[in-house]
Chain A
Amino acid sequence: MPTLKIPTPLRPFAGGSAQLDLQARNVGGALDELLAAHPELKPHLFTESGELRAFVNLFVNDENVRDLKGKDTPLNPEDTLMILPSIAGGAPLQQVDHAALRTNQAFIIGLSLAAYITDSPWWAGIVGLAMFIGTMLRAPVFGFVYRRWLKPSGLVKPEVLTDNPEPHRFAQGFGAVVELAGFGLLLAGAATAGWALVWLVIFLAALNLFVGFCAGCAVYYWLNRFGVPGFAKAPPPGTLPGLKPKAS
């Protein structure tokens, strides 16, 4: 008679039994027999749609039934069928709406260009200060335009990706420092150097908006790689530092 072995965490739902003698002659029949005897096990073995949960592995002797014939795998009288779950878990994944980031980049580019075209150093200063305040508030500073108007109206569609928000905040903070340094140089009369820094911010924001490469994020991840304190996050799995994570 085949035997079914039940792992410790499932035993309380099987009347405390560690094993069950089976009448069934295949794996599917054995599961039906187990659930008929102990229906409380069902939610822990199967999803609401009736699929075997991803962490549930069934072994006949030493072989995973996925490598045999699945539920049709035959059971001989001397066989042992084992339920051996994989145990997995981990920290919560964070999500970032890249549409809000793109809106922010577009506003930074537009307002910085307007400052240059109208030769208004104070505009550059205001943009730099806004970016700095956004960094302190841990948000893309012009993201409210997206959240309040562009997203509700459907003009910009959300693009929520599994990603770390910290590198994007660092990138905005880096941009704020460069833009404010440019503003300072402009006030000091060093127009060429000042506008060069403003244009650097425009270029890096455009690189992010149009090419999808976040230079500030790349710097953040390199600092992480070198173990610099305060740069705790590594790039999302399968993503090169600075590049946009793939949708999953």
Chain B
Amino acid sequence: MSLQIPADLLAQIRAHGKAAYPEEGAGFLLGRANGEQRVLVSILPAENRREDSARHKRYLLGPQQLCQAEETAQRLGLDLIGVFHSHPNHPAQPSAFDRDWALPWFSYVITRVDQGQAIASRSWRLAEDRQDFVEESIVEVNEAISEKANN
């Protein structure tokens, strides 16, 4: 399992996590899925709809936001392949709360942000029995490869 991410999009995901710090930032991943291999083509940063007091360790993207992301993906001829979010001052690993609320099939890119600095990004998919997450490798690629995927 792998997720190809163009370097500029990975930088945007990390910048979004840094900008949201000390709260959690989140958004949608648009791209193409081909079996176990996925290619990220675009991201849709989204507003964290969680109440103020919980945004430092929780994010929420509501049903309307998902609906809009689906429509955007369809308009661009892409798939909605997952979600990205940040973990302020915590490892880029899914929590039990992440697992309880996770959707199957989606790629979950988590970025650790310590003291306002993006430290690491890792990607995960929920196992089909919902008991755990399985890590998928992030393959950072240059823009030329992502454009090839776009065509």
Contact = CB atoms under 8 A, between A and B. Distances in A.
Tell me if chain B binds chain A: yes
Interface stretch (B8-16, B88-96, B134-142, B143-151): B88-96
Contact of B89 (A54, A55, A93, A232): A232
B79 A8 contact: yes
Contacts, number: 113
Nearest to A43: B130
Given A7-B66, A12-B105, A89 B53 contact: no
Interface stretch (A78-86, A129-137, A139-147): A78-86
Q: Is the contact region of chain A dominated by helix, strand, or loop, or is it mixed?
A: loop
B115 interface: yes
B115 A8 contact: no
Which DSSP category, helix, strand, loop or mixed, fits chain B's interface?
mixed
A229 interface: yes
Interface in A200-248: 229, 232-234, 237-238
B103 A85 contact: yes
B22 interface: yes
Interface string B75-102: 0000111010101111000111110111
Give chain B's interface residue range (CB within 8 Å of chain A).
35 or more
B61 A90 contact: no
Contacts of A43: 129-130
A59 B63 contact: yes
Contacts of B67: 82, 84
A87 B70 CA distance: 13
Interface string A91-135: 111000000000000000000000000000000000000000000
